[in-house]
Structures are given as structure tokens and as C-alpha cells.
Amino acid sequence: MPSKPAPLRAPRRAASKTDDERPRDSKIPRKSGRPAKAPRSPSSPALPDVPDPLETQFLQFMQVERNASALTLKNYAQGLRALRTGFPAFRAWPDLTADDFRAWLFLLMKRELGRATIRVQFAALRSFFKFLTRRAGLTANPLLEVQLPKAQRSLPVVLTLGQIDELLTLPLTLKPDGAQRSAVWAPQRDAAILELFYSTGLRLHELVKLDVGDINHLEESLRVTGKGRKDRLCPVGGPALRAIQHYRVAAGVHDGPLFLSKLRRRITMRAVNDLLQKYLRHSTIGFKVSPHKLRHSFATHLLNNGADLRSVQELLGHANLSTTQIYTHVSTTRMKQVYDAAHPRA
């Protein structure tokens, strides 16, 4: 078990600090003979060799004790660094007040950042200051006085069954255009990826992390490591299993990462999104589709065909049922559309 962090103390400025660690209005004279350095821009990244000790303790706590995923740790580190380097009035974490955080919120909104992005940054700050009050001796949490803008809950975009069928057939029916720069087995891989997305409702980062050993062909299931490093079992449909088997035979994939790039390395999230966009350009689907919209389609089609909400929650790996409930609104909307179109006295 990691040692308990030392109690929070007021920051002290030692005479041996470097110029970049002094406050911008520091009056400490420079040593003669050395050229003066330009003040560091508030938006410039923190120096990698001078990490903030409180942030380091917090991220270690999140990784070891809270078992946070690599993506969560990355987002939290970026959220803390963004304020420390981008807020002109920043002095030290213990000195920040509720008014400082309101000013930071206003600055983010002036930059026209999305509400979801702002809420992710403040989620990092809230968790950090909760850690400081419970583990590092900070007496009060100023973020408790700050009210954030409400999250935008727009209904997810869902593909129809016809659009799903068209998209899933494209990898194996589309003729190569121009010079063939991909591996000869790339169409089989792409077909397996799209089939698996729709068959299981995986998140993009969950799919690219899959290994060959995560698939159980006998039980027709898949072991998935989701958010918070939580494992879950997902059933896999026959078409997806067959597509995966055809791809593995064509590419000679027997162990290690399941989906490979043409260099036979684990495929990246960007590459998966690029291949999806390639097939969309050759389809009749007239709106933007991301890998996550295949997840939306998976959940909505299940509910439209009688699946209960709790089962869909487990399949998606949602921690809270409220996150899954947005798909019930999509199903209700479709049901009303069918009712209005078909009922004589609607």
C-alpha cells in the first residue's frame, strides 16, 4: 500500500529555485553575467523535469488506490496542467479560491470550449481538491462553491438497420481504388472490426486493446477491459465471430494483439476511425458517423427489439443506469414516430 502523502504545507520559495519556478513578479536579483530569460507564457506546457509534487501524489493515488485507467490519468493530468499553465493568476494550488475557479471557468467558456470538455477539466480539479482535503491537510475545498454549466444531453445519432447492413458489407465488396497500399488482408480485418463494433457495442479504446486471448470462440464471448480497468464479458454474434476467424486466418494472427496495422503492430484508434470514414465515403449514409455511433446503434437496436435496460447497461459497461437511460428516449421517439405514421387517430 502506498505511503500516505505528507500534510500540505504553505509553499516556500528557496533561494536556489530556478528562474522558471519564481513568481512572475519576483524581485530576486539574477546572478550577474547570465542573460535574463523571457517569462514563460501562461499557456506553455509545464517543464517535464519540474513536476508539481501535489499533482504527482494525486495521480499516483488515482493509479494505485483508485485503479484509474490510463485514459483517465491522461485527462486528469491535462486538466490540472491546463489551469496551472493557462490561468494568469495561478500562484500555488493551496492559494486558489472559489473566485479563481469561477474566473477559470469564464476563461474556458470565452474560448468556446464544449460543455463536455469543460466538465472533464473540472472533474479533474474536483477530484484533485477532494484528495487535497482528505489526504494532504487542505482545510477547505473552494470548488464546492463553484457551479458548472449543465451537461448537454442531446439524443444520440443512430443508424438504421439498412444503413448498418450497407456499412458492414462494404469492406469485402468495395473494389480497391488506385495503388494498393494496405495489407492484402486489410479488407478482412476491416470487416471484422465493423462487425465486432456492432455486435458488442464496444468503445473504441476497448476494441483496439483486444488480444487474441480475449476471445472465447466456444462460449461465443469476449473479455473486455473497460473504464476503471473493470472487466466484463460480452456475448458476440455469429457473423462477428466468423469475420474475426476469416481475418485471423488471412493475416496469420495467432497470439498477441487481435487487430493489426499493415506493419503488424497493434492498430491505433486513429487508424480505426480512418478506415470507418473511408467506407462512409463510399456509402449512401449522408451524415457523420464515428465509431461511438455504432455503439449507440447497438444499444438502441437492442432496446427496440425488447431488451431490458439493465441488460443493456451490463453489455455497455455503464457504471450508472442513468447513463444508459438516454437510449430509452431514442427508442421512445422512434415508437412515437411509428405510432403517428400508422395509427388512424394519432
Active-site amino acid positions: 203, 227, 292, 295, 318, 327
Q: Which residue has the cell 444520440?
A: 156
Residue 326's contacts (CB-CB under 8 Å, 6 or more residues apart) are: 153, 155, 156
Nearest CA among 295, 264, 261, 293 for reference residue 275: 261
Question: Hey, what's the cell of 43?
Answer: 499557456
Beta carbons of 148 and 102 less than 8 angstroms apart: no
d(CA 201, CA 328): 16
Partners of 266 in the beta sheet?
260
Instruction: Quickly list DSSP for 113-126.
Output: --HHHHHHHHHHHH
| Distance between CA atoms of residues 301 and 318, nearest Å | 17
Pairing of the two strands 215-216 and 231-235: unpaired
Contact predicate 125/146, CB 8 Å: no
% helix, strand, coil for the chain, step of 5: 55, 5, 45
Q: Which residue in the block uniquely carries the three cell numbers 469543460? A: 118
Q: Report the C-alpha gap between 346 and 198 in whole angstroms.
A: 34
Q: Is 224 helix (H, G, I), strand (E, B) or coil?
A: strand
